[in-house]
Structure 1
Amino acid sequence: MFLCTPEIITAGQDYWADAGVVRIGEKKPIPAPDFTLNTLDGKKVSLKEFRGKVVFLNFWATW
């Protein structure tokens, strides 16, 4: 049988506040710096061309 008092139930509520976790909306967005890459067919593509759109960058390598 477990005895649950309000102090025990709410003991972990402030854990995340003390752990340094930043909640969404608390930080102002920082714009990504512009850069230019070459596509596989030799065209240049700049990040600024995608302003206002979602961009997914996938960096990977095999060793």
Structure 2
Amino acid sequence: MTLLERDREKIEEGREEGREQGREEGILLTKKVFKLLNVGYSISQIAKACKISENQVKKILE
């Protein structure tokens, strides 16, 4: 295996780890948004609590 091939493998492994971490964070954020909605928070309150935009909250709720 050449250095270039090894580097490419490491880069791909890093991408996969990043994707998995991003999925996990997205799932946790989605759960939090729905939990806050269920206890009566408005979209703007959810956005502030989650530190995301109101548009992002709306996309999650779609």
Give me the TM-score of the superposition, normalised by structure 2.
0.31
Q: Report which structure shows greater RCO (CA 8 Å, sep ≥6).
A: 2
Query: Is the helix fraction higher in 1 or 2?
Result: 2
